[in-house]
Amino acid sequence: MDLDYFFRLFFSGLTRGSIYALLALGYTMVYGIIKLINFAHGEIYMIGAFTALIMATVFSFAGMPALAILVLSSIIAMVYSSAYGFTIEKLAYKPLRKAPRLSVLISAIGMSLFLQNYVLLAQTSNFLPYPSLLPRIPVPRFLQGLVSGPQLIIFSTTAVVMVLLTLLIKYTTMGKSMRATSQDRTMATLVGINVNRVISWTFIIGSFTAALGGILISSFTGQINFYVGFIAGIKAFVAAVLGGIGSIPGAVLGSLVLGMAEAFAAGYISSVYEDVFAFVILVLILIFKPSGLLGKPEVQKV
């Protein structure tokens, strides 16, 4: 077996997994709190990436240095994505708090369709080349040829975000409120948690990380169009379910498993079947663990 090839696939899987994780977090957090598959989440990611592209182009026309472009356009994109996440929730989900779950899902689907076409109409239907915003960093000698600089940036960024998020959820008041709300919304209200605010923050944080994922992956693949969010969104959702939806470590684990599975399937079997492989793994895992890898088994109170 070619060990180098194996490691190249491994790192490529890790890269995919990291990106899925940034997206899957948003799905899993929103799901944990309002039990909604937020179909529009993929569009948030797309809008984040688009905003970064727009701002970066404007700044580079203005002749700014590369690092300033990266930092400024990323921050603006993340702020905008969060604003979109916040607004979507207020507009399309909040009025439906007490509606049947499927209705909220349809509302999310409508929102997703709307946002795709909004970008399509306001920008373009074509694929646009995406500039590599990521700085060039040196790759340690022992990893040379196995992993690229941008890949290293992607997983280190993901790792940092995960750690920060875990700290946020574990130790801050908002994090505690989130956990309480996801366990029992009624109870959370009773102990004085402003549930609407918690939900808004969940969307804001989820959108923030989604935008980050969008910028990273678009810089990596070098292109973007209005439809990238939907496909990535479905994958990230699969990852979230694989890990056990509602569980944050589960989303990360699920994403890594999915990313690896796809990379190895593409590398050793055939790249056309990588998606089939991803879904087969999902089905197999769910058959044996119906609540996902780290999901708590649903205890039916009888």
Partner 1 sequence: MTLQQIKKTALVSLWFVFLTFPIMVIRVNTITQTITWRWHNMAFIALGTFFGGLLWRLALDRKPASARQAKQPEVLTEDPDVTDVKAESGIARRLGILRVKVAQKRTRRSLIALAVFSALLFPHLSSLYQTNIMITALIYVMLALGLNIVIGLGNMLHLGYIAFFAVGAYTYGLMHQYLGLGFWAALPVAAVLSTLAGILLALPVLRLRGDYLAIVTLGFAEIVRILLNNARNLTGGPAGISGIPRPSFFGMTMNLYQVSIYIYYIVLAAVVLTVFVVWRFENSRIGRALVAMGEDDIAAEAMGVDISRVKLTAFALGSLWAGIGGVIFASRTAFINPASFTVWQSIIVLSCVVLGGMGSIPGVIIGALGLILIPEYLRAFSDYRMLVFGAILVTMMVFRPGGLIQKRRRAYTFHVEEQK
Under the binding rule (CB under 8 A), the answer on residue 171 touching partner 1 is: no
Under the binding rule (CB under 8 A), the answer on residue 275 touching partner 1 is: yes
Q: Which residue has the tokens 């007490």?
A: 98
Reduce the secondary structure of the chain to three states and give it as a string. CCHHHHHHHHHHHHHHHHHHHHHHHHHHHHHHHHCCCCCCHHHHHHHHHHHHHHHHHHHHHCCCCHHHHHHHHHHHHHHHHHHHHHHHHHHHHHHHCCCCHHHHHHHHHHHHHHHHHHHHHHCCCCCEECCCCCCCCCCCHHHCCCCCHHHHHHHHHHHHHHHHHHHHHHHCHHHHHHHHHHHCHHHHHHCCCCHHHHHHHHHHHHHHHHHHHHHHHHHHHCEECCCHHHHHHHHHHHHHHHHCCCCHHHHHHHHHHHHHHHHHHHHHHCHHHHHHHHHHHHHHHHHHCCCCCCCCCCCCCC
Asked if 219 and 101 count as a contact pair (C-beta separation under 8 A), the reply is: no
Residue placing its CB nearer to partner 1 in the complex, 37 or 152 = 37
Q: Which of residues 16-55 bind partner 1 (CB under 8 A)?
A: 31, 37, 47, 50-51, 53-55
Q: Whole-number minimum distance, CB 149 to partner 1, in Å?
A: 22
Q: Which of 121-129, 155-163, 174-182, 255-263 is the region at the interface with partner 1 (rule: CB under 8 A)?
A: 121-129
Among 67, 68, 75, 99, binds partner 1 (CB under 8 A): 99
Q: Whole-number minimum distance, CB 202 to partner 1, in Å?
A: 17
Under the binding rule (CB under 8 A), the answer on residue 132 touching partner 1 is: no
Per-residue binding letters, 62-81, with partner 1 (x by CB under 8 A)? --------------x---x-
Q: Whole-number minimum distance, CB 208 to partner 1, in Å?
A: 15
* Structure token pair of residue 41: 């989440």
Under the binding rule (CB under 8 A), the answer on residue 276 touching partner 1 is: yes
Q: Which of 17-25, 117-125, 141-149, 184-192 is the region at the interface with partner 1 (rule: CB under 8 A)?
A: 117-125
Among 114, 139, 176, 180, binds partner 1 (CB under 8 A): 114
Among 104, 205, 211, 253, binds partner 1 (CB under 8 A): 104
Dihedral of alpha carbons 279, 289, 246, 250, sign: negative
Under the binding rule (CB under 8 A), the answer on residue 291 touching partner 1 is: yes
Among 67, 71, 75, 87, binds partner 1 (CB under 8 A): 87
Q: Whole-number minimum distance, CB 25 to partner 1, in Å?
A: 17
Under the binding rule (CB under 8 A), the answer on residue 164 touching partner 1 is: no
Number of other CB atoms surrounding residue 91 within 10 Å: 11
Asked if 73 and 52 count as a contact pair (C-beta separation under 8 A), the reply is: yes
Number of other CB atoms surrounding residue 216 within 10 Å: 26
Under the binding rule (CB under 8 A), the answer on residue 91 touching partner 1 is: yes
Under the binding rule (CB under 8 A), the answer on residue 236 touching partner 1 is: no
Under the binding rule (CB under 8 A), the answer on residue 102 touching partner 1 is: yes
Q: Which positions touch partner 1 (CB under 8 A)?
A: 31, 37, 47, 50-51, 53-55, 57-58, 61, 76, 80, 83-84, 87, 91-92, 95-96, 98-100, 102-107, 109-119, 121-124, 126, 128-131, 234, 237-238, 241, 245, 272-273, 275-276, 279-280, 282-283, 286-287, 290-292, 298, 300, 302
